[in-house]
Structure formats: structure tokens, C-alpha cells
Structure 1
């Protein structure tokens, strides 16, 4: 308890029994089309549809930095769309990742995982296109999930680190 398991593989194909949540970080502008979301969309169309509808309805829902949306894609598999990056490009305001938003979304993920009795599976969230550093994201995952007894597996795709 309290640790993350690291494996080589595809986070969209968790190979454990029981209920699973595949978690990833989204941006706050409704963009879906690069990075890990492409693998998600190839496997299941529902998370992208739900995310786009959530963004469209943002005037009357909880969409925004730190929010999390849970989409059931198979009887025992859910996808967590976690809004943890501002925009999509590195620019004058720095990288898009927002660690405080990832932290808040991980708190919501912990509640859902506990409710479902689910394990959590993810790539190195916030560290690909969002431009974050794993040394800042990993402690958030340990604190919010692993220390609460939630099994967490982080996937490094094809030997590469994102």
C-alpha cells in the first residue's frame, strides 16, 4: 500500500481483474486530438463524446480546471477525464499543466475509485503534451490514491517515457 506499480504497455488495456478506471489529463478548452486521447478514442468513442458534451455545457456544469468526469466504457471499465491543463500550448505563461488542478481531480478520482472498489491505470499524466514534470505529479498520485489503498498502475508505452 502506498506505492505505484510501473509497467511497460498500454494504459487502455489494463490486465488486472476487477473494476478499473483509466485516468488521463485533458485541457480546459475542449481540445481532444493529440497524445493519449488518441489511444482512448481508438478503443472507446464514449470518453471523447462525453468530454466534448461536458465542455459544450460548461456554462451549467462543473467543467473546469480540477474537475473530473467518469465515463463507463465497459461493464468493469471507466475512463476518468480529468481537467488538469490550461490550454494546449507552451507559451508566455509557461507549460499548460496545472498541478493544483491535477491534485484536485485526483481527489475526485480517489472518491470514485473507492466508491467502485476500482484500481486506477494511467500514463504519466500531465507529462506529455501538458509539459509537466513527473517528479511533481508522482507525489500527488501517491498522496491522493496510493496512500489511501487504491492500486495504481502507471504505463510507459513501448519503453518510452512521456
Structure 2
């Protein structure tokens, strides 16, 4: 049997391709900020992921919000968005190193695998952690493979034109 692999396509991750339940996964910061990068494309399509993320951060004293946590928000009958906290802060003029946290992305992907398998869902994403978070895909891709693909979750990665 062929080992499962990540499917790479050109297109928009906010318009996931294929049948069945689809989860759009992306990386958020731990400051509760939502205003740059891929999240803007999400917010243009659906208000729920941003509203849920901001509420999750605001009420963090009573919930699991923090690095490595994941929040799954239903936006359409067959589409959900996974807000994954995988970035410590944001990049500023004086920050040292990129805000990406690979360990947190790894934890969030592991949690996402459970959600996806329970839903029978495929996962769709841009190259998570590699935009504003400053991560490198050659370090993120093995995490996606180990936590999702190797567990039987089909993954499609979208490269925007």
C-alpha cells in the first residue's frame, strides 16, 4: 500500500477542494491578535473563526487557550476552521527570531488529527507557520506528515497564485 502523502495544489485554502467534511487549518498567535496574513482571507469569507478566536483569547483564564491549543469552528455544514495557536507573539522591529513555535504547531496538529478522524474530515491549509510566523516549510512539513498524514488524515496544501 502506498504511504499517504500531502497533496499540493495551486489555489485558495479558504475554498477547499474535494468531497466530505473539510477542516481548514491555520496558525494563530498567542496574543489574541487577528489582523494580518491568512486570517484576513478567512474573515472575508466567514465572521465566526475570528469571533470565536477573540472570545477564546478573552476568556483564556477559563479555557485551554495557549501555545499548542486548537479551536475548531464550524462555518458551513461541511467546512470547519481550526484556529491553532502556534506562534508566540508577533514579529516586531526589535523581536529576536521568528515567532513560530514548532512544538506548539506539533501539539496542535496532534489534537487536530483527533478532531479530523472523528469527523471523517480531510485537512486543508496554506503552508502553515511559514508566512508572518516566519517558519520554514521544511521543518513544518514533517510535523504535518507525522501528525496527520501518517494517522490517515488526507491533507491538501494550497499555494496561492
**TM category, shorter:** over 0.9
| 76, 90, 107: which one aligns with 1:88 | 90
CA displacement 1:10-39 (0-9 Å, x = unmatched): 001012010000000000001001000000
Select which of 150, 153, 161 maps to 1:150. 153
Which whole-Å deviations, capped at 9, do the CAs of 1:35-77 have from their partners, x for residues lacking one? 0000000011000000000000001100000000000000011
Give SS of 1:16's match: coil
Corresponding residue to 1:124 among 127, 130, 138: 127
Question: Offset at 1:2?
Answer: 2.6
**TM-score (normalizing by structure 2):** 0.96
Q: Give structure 1 regions of 4+ aligned residues with deviation exceeding 6 angstroms.
A: none
Instruction: Please give the root-mean-square deviation of Cα atoms over the aligned residues, in Å.
Output: 0.9
Name stretches of at least 5 consecutive residues in structure 2 with no aligned partner: none
TM-score by length of 1: 0.95
Please say if residues 83 and 102 of structure 1, whose CA atoms lie closer than 8 Å, have aligned partners that are also in contact. yes
Aligned-pair CA distance for 1:149:
1.2
Paired residues in the alignment total 158
Q: Distance in 2 between matches of 1:60 and 1:92?
A: 29
- For structure 1, the 5+ residue unaligned runs are none
